[in-house]
Amino acid sequence: MNSEKDEPQKAVNSQLSTVNSFLTHLESERRLSPHTVSNYQRDLKEASRVLGQQDWAAVTVHDIRSLVATLHRQGKGGKTIARLLSTLRTFYRYLMREGIARDNPVVDVRAPRSGKRLPKALDADQVTQLLDAGVDKGDPLSLRDQAIMELFYACGLRLAELLSLNVDSIDMTAAQLLVTGKGNKTRQLPMGKPAVTALKRWLKARPLFVKDSSEKAIFLSKNGKRLSSSSVQQRLKRHALERGLDDHLHPHKLRHSFATHLLESSGDLRAVQELLGHADLATTQVYTHLDFQHLAQVYDGAHPRAQRRKDDDESS
């Protein structure tokens, strides 16, 4: 009877002995740093916790896939799981070399993809703070920068799309903009009244910057050349700081804000896809997560039962 009770402990001891031999191999033969060896040890300990008390040589590809699924359900990210699988692949190569395992059950197992980082967006008040603060500034550079910021937010433009705009890209009568996006694909975009007004004011000042009459770019630098991407990024950052926005403002944040606010108001994912110039709807769907976050905040703040639940949590 005692020998049967000792079996689980023997299995644990055997697992630990095998792992310790592997770690010694990493230190002495492969000359890996103590930090790297510690990472291997941590990953193997985590794998052992999930796999349970079984011989490493008995682990199958189905066990490894079950391990991945369990870690994913527990909230582990794709990168974390991928690193653990990499550790196990190396471990099993060692076991095969030592004749402990006959094959490597990790070879064809891949980690789930990491979720895309949700783009950050300005809220409506921050957009107002940014755009309305510069309306009355009449110097030519401010007029140019105001038109740039209005277009980014009004049309959801990429930086390269804005820089490629020419004078003949604008139809002021129809309040439309012809944009050339990725893959040289063009799309027609509507402009709101603030963007049209800002553009008109800039176009009146634009001749002050013209050095060569053949230059067709809408937005020019002081030397009369088409404005560069670094100049736009620097000017956006400067205006954001001047207008009390602490976060780093870049062109894509205004594009994200455009998409987020439009989806919150309309719920029309297809329309947002067309306006952004996304070839694949899946690219646009990242904004549905942002929209859900907004809806969840509204729900928690307004729904009576949600409010009661929140109060109960705080009192418990």
User: Does the annotation count 158 as an active-site position?
Assistant: yes
| Mutual angle of helices 34-51 and 2-28, in 10-degree steps | 150
Q: Which amino acid, one-letter code, is at 69?
A: A
Dist CA 306 CA 312 (whole Å): 10
Show the DSSP H helices in 193-280 as ranges. Answer: 193-205, 229-242, 251-266, 269-276
Q: Which of 182, 216, 289, 308 is catalytic?
A: 182
Q: Does the CA dihedral 95-99-103-105 come out positive or negative?
A: negative
Q: Which of 76, 93, 250, 252 is catalytic?
A: 252
- CA trace torsion 161, 167, 168, 170 (10° rounding): 70
What six digits make up the tokens of 171?
């139809």
Dist CA 37 CA 21 (whole Å): 12
- Which run of H or E residues covers position 298? helix 286-302
User: Does the annotation count 255 as an active-site position?
Assistant: yes
Q: Which of 40, 144, 158, 206 is catalytic?
A: 158
Q: Which of 235, 239, 253, 255 is catalytic?
A: 255
User: Does the annotation count 35 as an active-site position?
Assistant: no
**In the block, which residue shows the tokens 């031999």?**
21
Per-residue exposure over 23-36, b if at least 16 CB sit within 10 Å of its own CB, e if not: bebbeeeeebeeee
| Mutual angle of helices 140-155 and 124-132, in 10-degree steps | 160
User: Does the annotation count 252 as an active-site position?
Assistant: yes
| Mutual angle of helices 2-28 and 78-97, in 10-degree steps | 100
* 176 beta partners: 171, 190
Do residues 109 and 64 lie in contact, with contact meaning Cβ atoms separated by under 8 Å?
yes
**Residues noted as catalytic:** 158, 182, 252, 255, 278, 287
